[in-house]
């Protein structure tokens, strides 16, 4: 299974996707609230952070890029400070802002969410959602025509905010008629794209009801929609109709016939905003890479799960997708998830053991060390340095094995309960993980001295203890690399 996943996801970087749709900026203002305002009976929020992330179609583009593919993103925004921010964020996300057309009389769309102690208090929407101007429309058509031929697939992310006009749809229909492409549509107005005969459409439950003309749904949502395949096909002409049902998973219809249902992966405290963007991005890339529908569905479900485990950014990287597919339970993808794991085990009275390392070429010394570490408690959580961190610590020729390979091998060890990746330019130590995890036992190899461990005082201040485990003699990654090098450069060893 592991190798099979690699065969498909490795092809993501060879794909180029044209994403067209409404750019939205999502702002998250978070803080504490301990009092009411004297001006009105409303809470006062003492702001601690103000974070901006790409939303709408821009989040689709960011997800496609994070999963490894090339992205051309085309949209229309304002000519304001928010537009400048959007362009900078696009570049930071790994794709060009050249496809973002600025319209002078337009205001860039921004959704501001105010949260106090993690709970939402208000959402403030600003910006224009009226149809784009005729001039902007023509410029957008020119951008689409320019990039269409070189793309492997197109994703239209239509939030009904003015960018996807009838003229844009007509342009795409004409291009697809001349040069058929993989086309995925995520829209609140799917019937408008019927002439395009999309490869895939992805309505959620409310969108499916609207498309089918139902005024209200039913208690058993899945049972209701399972009977609607033929009508969905009639209204969309899509080869694949994928109905997403949140915690109930998704229903897949092929040309109107129910093909299968895939369940969702449970998440303790899901943050579902933007999960659909991640889903359609991974689904598109999976199908383009040659995966069958069931495997593409598993990829999309895993990617969306990674996204909803995060507090603000609805994003899944190529690494996170692979790790989730390889071992759904072991990889911890966010500090929020790590806190939840700590709380869960602490509530059960379980003792948490934490250790960290590079684990570049896993050998018997590593396995013995990890087995001994697990015996010191109930749960073993292993921090793993990412590739850049190892290069900073050990030189440009390391690691020998990339992070995905190292995680896959470690996940196969029964003594390892969870894995978490760490490392940044400012700090290549696991200090942040220790602060969040508060382990009962922090384990390091016997080649260290307590005085050499900057983390030791932190662990003890949090109520834990440090244990040094003797290393297996004559077993180290450096020695293995040296022996391999000497063997391959010894002419007498060459047959």
List phi, psi (to 5°) of 425: -60, -40
Q: Three-state DSSP class for 450? A: helix
- C-alpha of 389 from chain center: 21
Question: What span, in angstroms and rounded, lies between the C-alpha atoms of 258 and 260?
Answer: 6
What are 395-402's contacts with CB under 8 Å, separation 24+? 398/358, 398/360, 399/358, 399/360, 400/360, 400/361, 400/477, 400/481, 401/360, 401/361
- C-alpha of 221 from chain center: 27
Omega within 30 of 0 (cis) for the link into 399: yes
Q: Which of 26, 158, 186, 277 is catalytic?
A: 277
Q: What is the DSSP string of 28-75?
A: EEEEEEEEE-SSSSSEEEEEEEEEEEEEEHHHHHHHHHHTT-EEEEEE
277 catalytically annotated: yes
Count CB neighbours of 260 within 10 A: 12
- Sheet of 16-21: strand order equals 100-102, 70-77, 16-21, 153-158, 182-187, 200-201, 240-244, 250-254, 257-262
List phi, psi (to 5°) of 125: -105, 135
Give the residue numbers annotated as catalytic, written as ranges. Answer: 277
């Amino acid at each position: 299974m592991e190798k099979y996943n690699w065969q498909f996801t490795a092809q993501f970087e060879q794909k180029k996707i044209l994403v067209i749709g409404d750019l939205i900026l999502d702002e998250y203002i978070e803080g504490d609230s301990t009092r009411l305002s004297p001006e009105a009976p409303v809470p006062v929020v003492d702001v601690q952070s103000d974070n901006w992330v790409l939303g709408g179609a821009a989040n689709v583009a960011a997800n496609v890029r994070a999963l490894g593919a090339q992205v051309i993103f085309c949209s229309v925004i304002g000519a304001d400070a928010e537009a400048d921010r959007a362009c900078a964020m696009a570049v930071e996300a790994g794709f060009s802002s050249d496809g973002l057309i600025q319209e002078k009389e337009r205001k860039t769309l921004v959704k501001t969410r105010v949260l106090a102690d993690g709970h939402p208090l208000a959402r403030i929407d600003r910006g224009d959602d009226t149809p784009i101007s005729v001039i902007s429309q023509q410029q957008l058509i020119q951008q689409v025509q320019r990039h269409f031929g070189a793309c492997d697939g197109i994703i239209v992310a239509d939030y009904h905010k003015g960018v996807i006009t009838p003229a844009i749809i007509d342009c795409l229909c004409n291009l697809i008629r001349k040069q058929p492409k993989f086309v995925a549509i995520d829209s609140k107005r799917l019937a408008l794209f019927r002439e395009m005969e999309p490869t895939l459409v992805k309505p959620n439950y409310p969108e499916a009801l609207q498309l089918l003309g139902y005024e209200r749904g039913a208690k058993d949502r899945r049972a209701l929609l399972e009977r609607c395949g033929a009508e969905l096909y009639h209204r969309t002409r899509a080869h694949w109709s994928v109905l997403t049902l949140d915690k109930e998973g998704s229903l897949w219809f092929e040309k109107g016939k129910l093909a299968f249902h895939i369940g969702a992966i449970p998440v303790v405290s899901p943050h579902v905003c933007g999960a659909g963007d991640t889903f359609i991005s991974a689904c598109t890339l999976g199908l383009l890479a040659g995966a069958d529908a069931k495997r593409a569905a598993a990829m999309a479900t895993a990617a969306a799960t990674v996204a909803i485990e995060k507090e603000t950014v609805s994003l899944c990287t190529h690494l996170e997708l692979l790790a989730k597919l390889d071992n759904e339970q072991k990889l911890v993808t966010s500090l929020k998830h790590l806190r939840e794991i700590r709380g869960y085990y602490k509530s059960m009275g379980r003792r948490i053991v934490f250790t960290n390392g590079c684990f570049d070429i896993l050998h018997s010394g590593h396995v013995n060390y990890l087995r001994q570490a697990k015996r010191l408690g109930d749960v073993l959580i292993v921090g793993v340095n990412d590739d850049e961190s190892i290069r900073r610590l050990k030189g440009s020729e390391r690691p020998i094995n990339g992070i995905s390979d190292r995680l896959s091998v470690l996940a196969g060890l029964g003594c390892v309960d969870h894995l978490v990746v760490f490392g940044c330019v400012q700090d290549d130590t696991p200090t942040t993980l220790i602060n969040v995890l508060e382990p009962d036992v922090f384990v390091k190899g016997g080649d260290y001295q307590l005085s050499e461990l900057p983390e030791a005082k932190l662990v003890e201040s949090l109520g834990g203890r440090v244990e040094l485990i003797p290393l297996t003699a004559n077993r180290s990654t450096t020695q293995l690399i040296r022996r391999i090098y000497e063997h391959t450069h010894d002419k007498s060893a060459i047959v």
